[in-house]
A and B are shown apart, each in its own frame.
Chain A
Amino acid sequence: MKTSNNNSKVTSTVRFTDALKKFNSNWKHIMTKKSFVFLLALGICSGIFADTIKIVTTTTDMKSIAEFIGGNKVSVTSIATGYQNPHFVDPKPSYIISLTKANLFVTVGLDLETGWSPQLLSSSRNTKIQKGSAGYVDASEGVNLLQVPAAANRAEGDIHIYGNPHYWLDPINGKTIARNIANGLERVDPANKSFYEANLVAFNNKIDTKLKEWQGKMAGYKGSKIIAYHNEWVYFETRFGLQIVDFMEPKPGIPPTPSQLVKVIKEVTANKIKVIISSPYFTTSSSDVVAKQTGVKELTLATSVRAFDSVKDYFGLFDYNIDHLITVLK
């Protein structure tokens, strides 16, 4: 047996060297000038595509802004979908697959994702994107935070000790998010710094132009009183001059109670409130009751990019919300 084995090994080696020789002679033949140039171009192209910076974001809003800043130099995936409650994303192991290869991780921060993203990060075995590493971007850095509690007490419901984390719903904060993402990209890919900076300027300019348009549209509805389901609109409310009178939830994260519904019904009637705003991930059963009693309209707004198919990017988010709000506030 041994000898036959050795024999087959010898023959296979001979075959292999023969093939190699053939290949070499063919190769010389192929390597004409034209084909060399073609192959070189192919190599460079594939090199470019292979070197895209892989970004994983926790939410679709961060994904959209990262795409504006990174352009064709990045490929971005978001863990949460746009119609999902970002507090309660299930940390499926499948998300770890994309995290293991990521160059940059972008988080909304302020404990919004505390129930799921730390576990995914530590399971990713990717040292480049851990908190404190160059590839970790906390998009909230530098944001002027609202509703920072004076004391941390869970008797208040789901409060966030660092402040309200839904800050991306103010387009001015979009600029800070973009700056933080650009900083992150420049840390992991300094060669393309000028590219990212140029995209950042373009993004900021577009925010400026669009903000003028949005505020123009909302100008007539300044001070409009509304009811919201969950306390996640304070940045939007402040920027566009709305006034949220109360929430369907008696305390953040606590489902609506009968006594809260009675309170809301009284407030709607007293203040002639026209609309209750909610998000795709909350049921409308409780606001249906209020609507039936008072005739108030119900409106599900987009809390994130891709909440609805028509909300395609960060600008689309405000387009959708403002256009729909105006229709019901008229």
Chain B
Amino acid sequence: MNYITVSKYFVTIILLLVLVAMNNVCLSQVTADSTSKDSLLLKQIEEQMKTAPPPVAPQTRSSLSFNPDIGVIGDFRGSYISKGQRNFDLYLNETEVSLQAAVDPYARADFFLSFARNPETGEYGVEVEEGYLTTLSLPARLQLKVGKFRNAVGRINTVHPHALPFIDMPNAYVNYFGEEGLNDEGFSLSWLLPTKAFYQEIIFQTTSGYTESPAFARSEKNRLLYVSHLKNFFTINDDNTLELGLTGISGPNDSARVSNMAALDLTYKWKPVKLNTYHSLTWQSEFYFNHANLMDNFSVNSFGMYSFIQYQLAKRWFLTGRYDYGQKPFDKTLKENAFSLTAGWYATEFSKLEFETKTTDDNIDKRYYQAWLRWIFVIGAHGAHQY
């Protein structure tokens, strides 16, 4: 370092010191003023007003990394069943890791990885519960989704189980789509209709049939799974809303033939805007009509439904009663009837504790009882739930 550079540094340091000293003097003056008389208050306000509003400098408030929003959801359960040899169980049902972020100005990506024990082998495994890209900039109110996603069937299929107000899935739903629901890989195109009076969205999905469901199976041939869903959402007034959904599914079944399903969902919600965190009511029902072609000149028409009413008693307390009716997609002679009641205590937005009891009757076996306890807990980012 030569002499000139050293002197330059020296001068800069001196200047900085002078600036700091001046600043201190100004600050002490201000404090002296403000601590003097109260009558000076108005004068000060006037002074403050004469000065222009502070220049608005863009502030950096986002975390300084491009890491996606990460969240982990734990789902711990205890269960009881009145039939079989082992009646009680305790298990971490699922650990879900979510990773969500914008890809670029044109799209966002959402991944949900599920860590769970395989009930048959008892060993832990990982699967991609969902992993998809959603476009943000398609014209004409279109939105395209590609990847693995929960198909747009009715109301509960698109919701992750931890967000549902009951622990077990409705019988009819399990009979047609399995415990995991209809969750497949492919394309989904949604169009927001230009209807002004109410919200209308139509979704078309083409997926390859990887889904593990009793009603639909992967075809050995080129047959794909097609789903279409029309969502109609009506605002009756600020506190009351109604949703009517129509779903059509067509795809290969495990007899290498085609199954067609029509489904209808109806949801009424009462949620007073003013005290919406204290009381609310939801009445939601879904009806499934399935036509399964199993052999030449042999088809099975079956039906299933569920209907639940959820009432929020207080800020943290929820009570849900549900009725299930279900047939099997390949055997309509089996008829299941079930009633269940769930009490939920929602500690915060990030943890809830639920207890459910259920009675199931069918026309083959004798009545049996089930009960579950579930504790859901979330750390990290937690995305919004759909209405």
**Are A211 and B275 CB-contacts (below 8 A) given A92-B387, A96-B199, A142-B56?**
no
Prevailing SS type, chain A contact patch: loop
Instruction: Indicate whether A258 reaches chain B with its CB closer than 8 angstroms.
Output: no
Query: Which residues in B have their C-beta under 8 angstroms from that of A219?
Result: 38, 41-42
Contact partner, B196, options A97, A118, A130, Cβ 8 Å = A97
Give B41-73 as 1s and 0s: 1 = Cβ < 8 Å from A's Cβ atoms: 110011001000111111101000000000000
Query: Which residues in A have their C-beta under 8 angstroms from that of B384?
Result: 91, 114-116, 118-119
Query: Which residues in A have their C-beta under 8 angstroms from that of B88?
Result: none
Contact partner, A119, options B41, B46, B241, B383, Cβ 8 Å = B383
Interface residues on A, range: 35 or more
Instruction: Indicate whether B276 reaches chain A with its CB closer than 8 angstroms.
Output: yes
Of B124-132, B133-141, B205-213, B304-312, which stretch is located at the interface?
B133-141
In contact, B277 and A94 (Cβ under 8 angstroms): no
Query: Which residues in A have their C-beta under 8 angstroms from that of B235?
Result: 92, 94
Give B314-329 as 1s and 0s: 1 = Cβ < 8 Å from A's Cβ atoms: 0110000000000000
The residues in A between 195 and 223 inclusive whose CB is less than 8 angstroms from any CB of B are 204, 208, 211-212, 215-216, 219, 222
In contact, B238 and A81 (Cβ under 8 angstroms): yes
Instruction: Indicate whether A283 reaches chain B with its CB closer than 8 angstroms.
Output: yes
In contact, A127 and B137 (Cβ under 8 angstroms): yes
What is the number of residues of chain B that contact chain A, defined by CB distance less than 8 Å?
52
CB distance from A100 to the nearest CB of B (A): 6
In contact, A162 and B275 (Cβ under 8 angstroms): no
**Docked CA distance A311–B143 (Å):** 40
**Docked CA distance A162–B54 (Å):** 20
CB distance from B354 to the nearest CB of A (A): 19
CB distance from B159 to the nearest CB of A (A): 13
Instruction: Indicate whether B119 reaches chain A with its CB closer than 8 angstroms.
Output: no
**Docked CA distance A97–B235 (Å):** 12
In contact, B56 and A180 (Cβ under 8 angstroms): yes
In contact, B241 and A94 (Cβ under 8 angstroms): yes
In contact, A281 and B56 (Cβ under 8 angstroms): no
Instruction: Indicate whether B201 reaches chain A with its CB closer than 8 angstroms.
Output: yes
**Docked CA distance A90–B243 (Å):** 14
Instruction: Indicate whether A253 reaches chain B with its CB closer than 8 angstroms.
Output: yes
Query: Which residues in A have their C-beta under 8 angstroms from that of B201?
Result: 93
Instruction: Indicate whether A260 reaches chain B with its CB closer than 8 angstroms.
Output: no
CB distance from A328 to the nearest CB of B (A): 22
CB distance from A148 to the nearest CB of B (A): 10
**Docked CA distance A132–B383 (Å):** 20
**Are A216 and B42 CB-contacts (below 8 A) given A90-B387, A91-B386, A96-B192?**
yes
Query: Which residues in B have their C-beta under 8 angstroms from that of A144?
Result: 54
Give B249-281 as 1s and 0s: 1 = Cβ < 8 Å from A's Cβ atoms: 000000000000000000000010111111000
**Are A215 and B233 CB-contacts (below 8 A) given A125-B142, A125-B143?**
no
In contact, A119 and B348 (Cβ under 8 angstroms): no
Instruction: Indicate whether A71 reaches chain B with its CB closer than 8 angstroms.
Output: no
In contact, A215 and B274 (Cβ under 8 angstroms): no
The residues in A between 162 and 185 inclusive whose CB is less than 8 angstroms from any CB of B are 162, 175-176, 179-180, 183
Contacts beyond the supplied A93-B231, A219-B38, A281-B274: 12 A-B pairs with Cβ under 8 Å: A83-B273, A93-B387, A94-B233, A100-B141, A100-B192, A118-B384, A141-B56, A158-B348, A179-B56, A253-B348, A254-B348, A283-B278
Closest 8 pairs between A and B when the two form their complex, measured CB to CB: A142-B56, A93-B199, A119-B384, A208-B49, A93-B233, A94-B235, A175-B53, A127-B137
A-B contact pairs, 7 of them (CB 8 A): A116-B384, A122-B134, A123-B143, A127-B137, A211-B49, A216-B42, A281-B277
